[in-house]
A = this chain, B = another copy of it.
Amino acid sequence: MTRDEILEAAAQIFRQKGYHAASMQDIADAVKLQKASLYHHVNSKQEILLALLDQALDLLIEGMEKVLALDLPPEEKLRQAMLTYLQIMLEERDLSSVLLLEYRSLEPEYRQRHIPRRDHYESLWRSLLIEGAEQGVFVISDVALVSRFLLGVMNWTITWYREDGPLTPAELAQECANLFVLGLKRRKDEDG
């Protein structure tokens, strides 16, 4: 049994039940250990949660930085960023769900460590939008607001997306991007 296996099981249970409804006993059962044995690998339940949030954010930051480094026109870069985000979200659902929904269960001391990284990630999205605006491709009055709209649509997908449904993550990303890109792009009838 490794720490990572415990974290993985914990993510699944946290997602299903929520942090507070999930007990260390549940996690122990899932990895077929005694509850006390978990404490050989982790220091506390809160530490598990923090580790999961860190993992999730690492994935997202890594994905976003790769996209930002690409040499693409803003519109394509935005599409690529949305695709990457949704793919991570929907392929690592346990982790993502914990990041988005169980974040509130972090106790203050741990939260302080987490918030700056979260802010950093959001700033990556803003920089993408700013790039598009500076090149005159996007028309955006409030970059912070639009980035929240963007992340909002995508974040909410984890509450309703079904793997056995009609859409693949890639198709979903495309539909989503279509809707937004049209709303952001300078229209033909607009002046320069």
Contact = CB atoms under 8 A, between A and B. Distances in A.
Interface in A74-127: 101, 104-105
Nearest to A16: B104
Interface residues of A, number: 35
Given A18-B20, A149-B153, A160-B148, A142 B179 contact: no
Interface in A138-192: 141-142, 145-146, 148-149, 151-157, 160, 167, 172, 175-176, 178-184, 187-189
Most buried by B among A105, A160, A180, A183: A183
A82 to B, nearest CB: 12
A183 B178 contact: yes
A69 interface: no
Given A153-B152, A182-B182, A189-B188, A175 B142 contact: yes
A21 interface: yes
- Looking at chain A's contact residues, the main secondary structure is helix
A31 to B, nearest CB: 22
A79 to B, nearest CB: 14
A179 B175 contact: no
Contacts of A176: 149
A41 to B, nearest CB: 24
Contacts of A151: 156
B105 A18 contact: yes
